[in-house]
């Protein structure tokens, strides 16, 4: 067992998978010599050489396009986009090609690639560094989208993503890269894509969160039982395909739902989850299912970021509002 942060768990997993499988290659902007902007790929080039871990030009479209070509021809590329807000030049490659290749070739070719990208606010970064863009990927058929909230899930989900036969968007909440540590097994293990995790069982209200907001929600619900509110907390872990059964079964028990996410409100994942609950568990509801999200604005620059970020106090207040309906 070794104690790992989210960041070191990602680095350890890349080492493990590159040792295990010669077809795994890692590249992106500053990924090789420097080990990545956050050092998630530190040491890979020294261990595996420049043929398997290398720096790319500052060109996201070229990074994604090259990875698609590699994947179709038998490699398993794991590419890094420095920040999720930088991925737009490569978005056409992701949506028009990576996501469609299996369908376009009627199963003759698949694209086993992973696109890693730090995302989210909370570190007082510059423009294009703090967005939560999971909706843009989850909406596209052919893509899987995962977001870990712990070192354990970071390792298990990344292992599953690298071994998946199709393209996986692996979004990393950079706000918690080094926020806490957890003991992890030294050997390989996988967390299945598409399965949520119930972090706390409860009877009164279901709260669904993911990424950095899982920790904020855990802080928010501390002590609520003393006030007579028993929260069931679900970490979604996979945004697409998401675990509908886990959420619906929980809401059938509690009768109430709050979805907490950092992405902006309109057309976001919360709207999708609430719509699903209206289809599958409407007659069990004791209150309107609702969401607490980022506002419909571009993430502010550092001086105003705290107005955008969702605090434990806001989550706690929203839970009480739903309970009071």
CA 97 – CA 34 distance, rounded (Å): 30
**Please, where are the H alpha helices in the chain?**
6-20, 44-48, 60-72, 88-93, 101-104, 134-138, 151-162, 212-221, 244-254, 269-280, 305-308, 312-323
CA 186-190-192 angle, to 5 degrees, is 160
Number of Cβ atoms within 10 Å of the Cβ of 224:
18
Cis status, amide bond into 241, omega within 30 of 0: yes
From the candidates 129, 261, 306, 307, which is the catalytic residue? 129
Q: Confirm whether 128 is a catalytic residue.
A: no
Cβ 217 vs Cβ 255: under 8 Å: no
For residues 83-104, one letter each, b for 16 or more C-beta atoms within 10 angstroms of the residue's C-beta and e for the rest, the string is bbbbbeebbebbbebbbbbbee
Q: Which residues contact 287 (CB under 8 A, 6 or more apart)?
A: 255, 256, 322, 323, 325
List C-alpha distances in Å: 274 to 14, 24, 115, 310, 322.
36, 38, 28, 19, 14
Give catalytic residues, as residue numbers.
129
């Amino acid at each position: 067992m070794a104690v790992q942060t989210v960041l070191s768990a990602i680095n350890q997993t890349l080492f493990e998978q590159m040792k295990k499988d010669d077809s795994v290659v890692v590249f992106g902007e500053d990924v090789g010599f420097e080990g990545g902007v956050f050092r998630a790929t530190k040491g890979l080039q020294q261990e595996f050489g420049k043929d398997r871990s290398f720096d790319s030009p500052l060109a996201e479209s070229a990074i994604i396009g090259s990875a698609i070509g590699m994947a179709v021809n038998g490699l398993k590329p794991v590419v890094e986009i420095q920040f999720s807000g930088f991925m737009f030049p490569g978005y056409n490659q992701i949506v028009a090609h990576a996501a469609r290749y299996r369908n376009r070739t009627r199963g003759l070719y698949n694209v086993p690639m992973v696109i890693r990208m730090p995302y989210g606010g909370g570190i007082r970064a510059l423009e294009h560094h703090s967005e939560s863009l999971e909706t843009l990927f989850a909406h596209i058929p052919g893509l899987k989208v995962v977001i870990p909230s712990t070192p354990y899930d970071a390792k298990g989900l990344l292992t599953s993503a690298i071994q998946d036969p199709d393209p996986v968007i692996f979004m990393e909440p950079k706000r918690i890269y080094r926020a806490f540590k957890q003991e992890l097994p030294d050997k390989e293990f996988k967390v299945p894509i598409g399965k949520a995790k119930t972090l706390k069982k409860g009877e009164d209200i279901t709260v669904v969160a993911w990424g950095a907001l899982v920790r904020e929600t855990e802080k928010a619900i501390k002590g609520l039982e003393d006030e007579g509110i028993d929260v069931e907390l679900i970490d979604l872990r996979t945004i697409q395909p998401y675990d509908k059964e886990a959420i619906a079964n929980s809401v059938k028990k509690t009768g109430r739902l709050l979805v907490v996410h950092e992405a902006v409100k309109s057309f976001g994942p919360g709207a999708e989850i609430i719509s699903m609950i209206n289809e599958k568990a409407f007659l069990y509801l004791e209150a309107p299912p609702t969401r607490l999200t980022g506002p419909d604005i571009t993430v502010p620059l550092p001086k105003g970021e705290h107005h955008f970020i969702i605090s434990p106090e806001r989550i706690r207040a929203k839970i009480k509002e739903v309970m009071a309906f």
